[in-house]
A and B are shown apart, each in its own frame.
Chain A
Amino acid sequence: MKRFRIVLLVLVAFALVAAACSSSSEETTTTAAEGAEATTTTAAPATTTTAGGGETTTTEAMASLEGTTVTVFGPESSDEEAGAMQDALDVFAAANGMTIVYTGARDFSDQINAQAAGGNPPDIAIFPQPGKLADFAREGYILPLPDDVTATVTANWPEAFVSFGNVDGVQYGVPNKADIKSLVWYDTNAFEENGYGIPQTLDELWALSDQMVANGQTPWCVGIESGPATGWPFTDWVEDMTLRLQGADYYDQWVAGEIKFSDPAMVDIWQTIIDLWNKPGYVYAAGGSIASTPFGDNGQPLVDGDCMMHRQASFYSAFLPEGTPTGPGGIDVFYFPAGPDGTKPVLGGGTLAAAFDDRPEVWAVMNYYASPEYSNERQIAQQARKGGQLSGYLSANKNMDLNVFLPLEQTMIDIMLNAEVLRFDGSDLMPAAVGAGTFWTEGTSAVNGDETVEEAVANIDASWPSS
């Protein structure tokens, strides 16, 4: 029996340790549970918020934030991004005596499905794809914004960004971060030495490419490898070219599935890009081939002069080799030039916050996300974490303080805010089977030469979900 008693003791000890270990996790979950219970009771305060409107309700809401907890879940997970997000939230939390906990997950897109389906969603999720947000809105997982939060959003964000969070006429999303994709990265010194100007039209861009080849230089760096998402830089090229050559209406119809990938104009665009990439001497791919070069590996060749231009989004700044000077006199960006009709469309991206739970403190945080203060705090925190370098964060908030951004970042914001036509990354709007599936894989096959463009687009059309 002695041995039995020892074993029993050990088991009890473990149970105690277990209880102690789990206590920290229970803390947050109990608050979440309280929140879930509170949903039913907060119906009344929520109606007063919308009924009252204006500033008086905001102060009322502030008073009731004391001691509350809000959980936020999003795709940004590295120390700089997630840390800066938490810093910016902490500023608001500290001012209101509340707690806001941000958790970032690299597998956000899969993870949020599991959590929503499993009945364990966060209070607020930050969606990198409007298509996903729309799915969640139609499923009834996320809640429409109350009027006062919608008012903050429309007062601070350009119409295009507001519309990304709009599903069937109802506003669900609050823009959180903005990316601009219609950018060409280049080395200002190399351009100056060779006397190259900034091309203003697509024709000038192609002429510049030809001139660079004539001068013995390689004009483009291209790499489309990105792990399971390999191919997305190609889709960005296609989208940018479509906006320029066919216009925004065509683009919208194409994204909605009303115009097929096998449309002759679309096939032409694919062929133009692939021909450019396959022309001998036009592309430098650090990894040997375009499809095997990680998109992030093209920073060094650009700095070294192995290639002269790299078309990539604003967040590419974070992939430049450490200590690379940026802005005039270093690596800079110019706007991917306008098409034949002269309009200047901009391809953008970004993240949108949406709420799962109807509580005053949740809406207060959503309201903060829409405010210029959030953009400012986030940028200041992220820049500090980057040691004063380009932060990798961009916002299109109209009322934020531009002085907290570096000159190069201000150039990008300027392009976004002055865009005549701004469209979200089309592959993020299409059904996931295409936008995060065949568009990438078939595009990669076409770039590799494993398939002709006609075969690739036919396969994409076949994969578009019916209904």
Chain B
Amino acid sequence: MATTDRHLATGPEPAALGSRVRGFLGAIPTWVLWFFVIIWTVPTLGLFINSFRTRDAQRNFGWWMFWQDGAHGYGGLTLQNYRDVLGSEATGGLANGLLNSAAIAIVATIIPIAIAAFAAYAFAWIDFKGRDWLFIATVALLAVPSQVALIPLLQMYAGGAHLTIPLIAKTVTVFPDLDLAGTIPAVWLTHTGFALPFAIFLLHNYMSGLPGDIFESARIDGADHFTIFWRLVVPLSIPVLAAFTIFQFLWTWNDYLIALTMIGGNREALPATVVVASLAGEFGLREHLLTAGAFVITVVPMAVFFSLQRFFVRGITAGSVKG
């Protein structure tokens, strides 16, 4: 018994070593992942800690020395930055800014989704002349950077777009003078325009992968395109619609440039990103408030992301594998 025991005890040892090595090697991707997660998170952690420190503490010592602030005579951790940020009144105030951000982000998410869903269905399942060329043109618009179009767009919102046809000298109003410059609808329109190519592309890839047999049987049962779209395509496309919703919401919520350009000096309509940026002041005098401001405006997108997170990965791979 003793010998067999020893044999049993020593026998598996090489195998155990081998599996341990294999286990170690197998865990390397996880280690690498952890490494990058930490690298990526440390600055955010620093920002988070700094958001509770006084201006002089932030100016004189790094965030990793935060526990010595009291000893250095700068006062301990404080909520004062958050109080200053939430109570700010310059540039319309942060509460107003958050409301504007919501007004911008919600509508600028709904409009492109509504239009893109119809368009993607048409591109995927309705046969019409020139469909492929139109689709290629739409997707090619992905390459247009929004920055080059901002000033012309603003001019259009401020005074409309008028084309004078040569020879007959007739002026056609392409876009009426709606006096949109400085208003939130101007931001909606801009976000919608630049979101549509990607939205149509993403939704089209997903919808064209849906099994055509269902639609055929639906048509045999007398369903028209409209019914098929609402009763079959939309319910089946929920994952990709949710994924795009997250994308678009985060993008419009975090947007600074488009809102700043389109709204400009109308402080009643400026979103939270612009309000927070202006907290720092002309010479960066109150830069220390940016830490707390950044966290306040991150709360909403975080909530959106985590509540819709289960759709996120499913939606991104949407249409990549046709089944």
Contact = CB atoms under 8 A, between A and B. Distances in A.
Main secondary structure of the interface of B (DSSP, over half): helix
A143 interface: no
A86 B90 CA distance: 9
B158 interface: yes
A268 interface: no
B59 A28 contact: no
A110 B183 CA distance: 19
A243 B286 CA distance: 32
Given A25-B266, A29-B179, A77-B91, A105 B60 contact: no
Interface string B172-184: 0000000101111
A71 B266 contact: yes
A118 B155 contact: yes
Contacts of A4: 226, 230
A120 B264 contact: yes
B203 interface: no
Contacts of A121: 265
Contacts of A253: none
B267 interface: yes
Contact of A78 (B159, B274, B285): B285
Interface residues of B, number: 57
Interface string A295-328: 0110110000000000000010011011000000
Given A11-B110, A82-B91, A104 B154 contact: no
B264 A33 contact: no
A78 B265 contact: no
Contacts, number: 182
Given A21-B99, A104-B278, A106-B280, A83 B89 contact: yes
Interface residues of A, number: 61
A117 interface: yes
Contacts of A118: 150-151, 154-155, 157-158, 181, 261, 264
B96 to A, nearest CB: 9
Main SS at interface, chain A: helix
A432 B183 CA distance: 31
A278 interface: no
Contacts of A280: none
A297 B59 contact: yes
Contacts of A14: 106-107, 110
A103 B286 contact: no
Nearest to B269: A25
A253 to B, nearest CB: 29
Contact of A21 (B84, B90, B151, B184): B184
A11 B117 CA distance: 14
A119 B264 contact: no
A434 to B, nearest CB: 21
B279 interface: yes
A300 B181 contact: no
B119 interface: no
B277 interface: yes
A7 interface: yes
Given A25-B182, A300-B56, A75 B154 contact: no
15 contacts: A7-B230, A17-B103, A24-B269, A25-B266, A25-B268, A77-B91, A77-B280, A78-B286, A83-B89, A105-B91, A105-B274, A118-B155, A118-B181, A121-B265, A322-B54
Nearest 10 Cβ contacts at the A-B interface: A78-B281, A118-B154, A25-B269, A21-B103, A77-B278, A82-B90, A119-B158, A120-B181, A73-B265, A103-B267
